[in-house]
Amino acid sequence: EQPTKTESLKVAVVGTGYVGMGTAVMLASLGHQVVGIDIDQNKIEMLRRGELPIYEPGLEDLLRASQERLRWTGDYASAIPDADVIFICVGTPPLPSGQPNLRYVAEAAQSVARNLNGKLQVVVNKSTVPVGTGDWVSRILEDHALDYSAGRYVVVSNPEFLREGTALHDSLYPDRIVLGSSSPEGIERLRQLYQPLLEQTFTPPEGMPRPANYTLPELVTTSLSSAEMIKYAANAFLALKISFANEIAGLCECVDADIEQVTHGIGCDQRIGHRFLSAGAGWGGSCFGKDTAALINTGSEYGYTMPILRAAVEVNQRQRHLVISKLQRHLHRLQGKRVAVLGMAFKPNTDDLRDAPAHDCIARLMDLGAKVTVHDPVAMPHARREWAHLTYDEAPTAEAALRGADAVILMTEWDEYRALDWDQAVRTMRRRLIIDTRNVLQQLPQHSTVEQVGRTTLHNVP
C-alpha cells in the first residue's frame, strides 16, 4: 500500500491558516497533489479566486506557480477519502487558563475520521498540541471512524517550526524535520513526502534561492510524545533567550552599559550564538505566549513547577510596560498628548496581530488619556476587525503618523521604518521624542531625543 518512492502523494491539509496554507503551497510546489480544507467558507472562496487571506512574502507567487496541483474545499468528503497523508493544521488558541483550546483539533479529527477510506492513511498533527494529544487524536479517530475495524490510519506528530514573515523559506530550507510516531509505516510515508526537502532535489522557486551555506536537514524520528515536547521546548527556549537579553538590557540601563555591544560580545561565543538575543519590546505573536503558557500548564497538571519559564514570561510582560515608562520619563502626564505608533504586528513582514506588544501599548496609552495615531504597512485591515475595541487614528503613511505628535513609538522593525527620512519626518512633530523599542535607529535625527532598550538615552540637541 505504500506509494513508490518517486510517486507524488495525495495530501489533504485541514485548516488553511498561516501554517496550513504554507504547508499546502509548499507541498504542491514539491510536486504533490494537495487539497486544502477549511470550515471558513470565506477563506475557501478567496483561495479559489487565487487571493490570499493572509500576508506572507512569496506565498502568492508560489501559489500561482503550483496552482494545477492545488485545490481548496470546505467539504471533507471530497478530500479525505483519497488522501495518502492528512495534515491537521487548525488553530490551538490559548484558553484563559493557559491551556490550548483543543476544540478545533477534536472537530477536525472527527470530520477526518468519518471520511477515512479503510486503507493505510497517515494523519499528521502539525498543530502545536500538548504532549499526549497524538494518542488522544488516535482515540478520536477510532471512536468516529465509520468502520473502524477496517481503518488502518496511523497518527504522526510533525511539529511546525516556520516563522511568519519567512514561512516559505523556513519550509523549503528547514534545519530539521521532526517525525514522532510508534508506526514505522507512518514515518516511512512522511519520509517519502519530504524526500525532496530532505535531499533538496527540488528546483528553488524564483526569488527564494537555497542559502549558500545550507546543509541538508536532519530527519529526527522520535516517539509521539517526544515530538510534541520538542515543539514546546524549542519555542520556550527561544522565548527565554529573548527574555534573557531583555533582563540584561535592563541592568545595562542601570550601570550605563550598552546592550547592543553586550549581546554582540556574548553571541560571538558559538555555544550561545547571535540569534534571538535582541533586546526590545519583547516577544509576541501567536506562538511564544501560548506555548510557554501551555508548557507551564502541563507542568502544573503533574505538580511540576517551571520557574525558568515563569520568569521568562514575567520579564516579557515587564518589557511591554517599559515602553510606556520611557515615554513618561520625558512626557510625564500622557493625558491629551499625541503619540504615533509605527507597526502593529509583533514583527515585520506579517499582518498577524495575535499577542502583539503594540496592542498592550495602545491600550495603556488609551487608559492614560493619550491620543494615538497608528501606521502599519500591511496589518491595518486586520486591526480594523480584530482591534475594534481600541481607539486610534489611522495614518496613511509613517510620515503622516508623525505629524503633530509629541512622541513616536517605533514598535515593529519594518525596513520601511528603518529607511524613513527621519531628519525630515521629525521636523513635523510637536516634540521630537522617539521611543525606538527595537533598537533599529542607527543615526540620531536632528534635534531629537531617542530612547532605545538597554542603552543610555541619546540626545541630539545642540
Query: What distance lies between CA 157 and its chain's CA centroid?
Result: 19
Find the farthest-apart pair of alpha carbons in the chain and give their distance in angstroms, rounded.
Answer: 82
Give the CB-nearest residue to ligand NAD: 17
Figure out which of the listed residues 128, 157, 246, 263 binds ligand NAD, where binding follows CB under 6 A: 128
Q: Does 127 bind ligand NAD (CB under 6 A)?
A: yes
Nearest approach, Cβ of residue 315 and ligand NAD (Å): 22
Q: Is 294 in the site for ligand NAD (CB under 6 A)?
A: no
Instruction: Report the site for ligand NAD in 83-122 (rule: CB under 6 A).
Output: 89-92, 104, 107-108, 111
9 binds ligand NAD (CB under 6 A): no
Using CB under 6 A, pick the residue from 9, 18, 294, 401 that binds ligand NAD: 18
Please identify which residue in the block is written with the cell numbers 542601570.
254
Nearest by Cα to 409 from 362, 347, 368: 362
Quick check: 156 binds ligand NAD (CB under 6 A)?
A: no
Q: Is 373 in the site for ligand NAD (CB under 6 A)?
A: no
Nearest to 172 by CA among 203, 131, 150: 203
Task: Tell me: does residue 295 bind ligand NAD (CB under 6 A).
Answer: no
How many C-beta neighbours within 10 Å does residue 50 have? 10
- Grid cell locating 243: 527574555
Is 287 a catalytic site residue? Answer: yes
Residue 165 in the binding site for ligand NAD (CB under 6 A): no
Which residues, other chains included, contact 183 with Cβ-Cβ below 8 Å and sequence gap of 6+?
122, 154, 155, 156
Q: Which residues pair with 342 in a beta bridge?
A: 375, 410
Task: Give the residue with the Cβ less far from ligand NAD, 89 or 296.
Answer: 89
Tell me how far the alpha carbon of residue 393 is from its chain's centroid.
Answer: 27
Catalytic residue among 252, 254, 268, 287: 287
Q: Are 408 and 401 in contact (CB under 8 A)?
A: yes
Nearer to ligand NAD, 73 or 446 (CB): 73
Give the 3-state secondary structure percentages of the chain, helix then strand then coil, rounded to 5.
40, 15, 45
Q: Which of 37, 327, 405, 408 binds ligand NAD (CB under 6 A)?
A: 37
Stretch of residues binding ligand NAD (CB under 6 A), selected from 8-16, 116-124, 369-377, 392-400: 8-16
Residue pair 277/263 in contact (Cβ under 8 Å)? The answer is yes
39 is a site residue for ligand NAD (CB under 6 A): yes
Number of chain positions touching ligand NAD (CB under 6 A): 27
Q: Report in angstroms how near the CB of residue 79 gets to ligand NAD at its nearest.
A: 10
Name which of 108 and 365 has its Cβ closer to ligand NAD: 108
Instruction: Give the position of cell 470550515.
Output: 39
Provide, rounded to whole angstroms, the least separation between the CB of residue 350 and ligand NAD: 8
Stretch that binds ligand NAD, among 12-20, 59-67, 191-199, 368-376 (CB under 6 A): 12-20
Instruction: Pick between residue 15 and residue 377 the one whose CB is nearest to ligand NAD.
Output: 15
Residues 55, 379: Cα–Cα separation, whole Å: 9
102 vs 362, which CB is nearer to ligand NAD? 102
Nearest CB to ligand NAD, comparing residues 33 and 349: 349
Burial class (CB in 10 A: 0-12, 13-18, 19+), 161: middle
Q: How far apart are CA 107 and CA 109, in angstroms?
A: 5
**Range 257-274 burial, b when 16+ CB lie within 10 A, else e:** ebbbebbeebbeeeeeee
Q: Work out which of 9, 12, 14, 230 binds ligand NAD, going by CB under 6 A.
A: 14
Q: Which stretch binds ligand NAD (CB under 6 A): 159-167, 221-229, 259-267, 373-381?
A: 159-167
Residue that the C-alpha cell 524520528 belongs to: 221
Which positions from 190 to 209 touch ligand NAD by CB under 6 A, shown as an x/- string? --------------------
Q: Please say which residue, 346 or 422, places its beta carbon nearer to ligand NAD.
A: 346
Tell whether residue 232 is a contact of ligand NAD (CB under 6 A).
no
Per the CB < 8 A criterion, the answer to whether 156 and 180 are in contact is yes
The DSSP string of 392-460 is -EE-SSHHHHHTT-SEEEE-S--HHHHTS-HHHHHTTSSS-EEEETT----SPPTTEEEE-SSS--EEE
Binding of ligand NAD by 437 (CB under 6 A): no
Binding region for ligand NAD (CB under 6 A): 14-20, 37-40, 43, 89-92, 104, 107-108, 111, 127-128, 160, 162, 164, 286-287
Residues classed as catalytic: 287
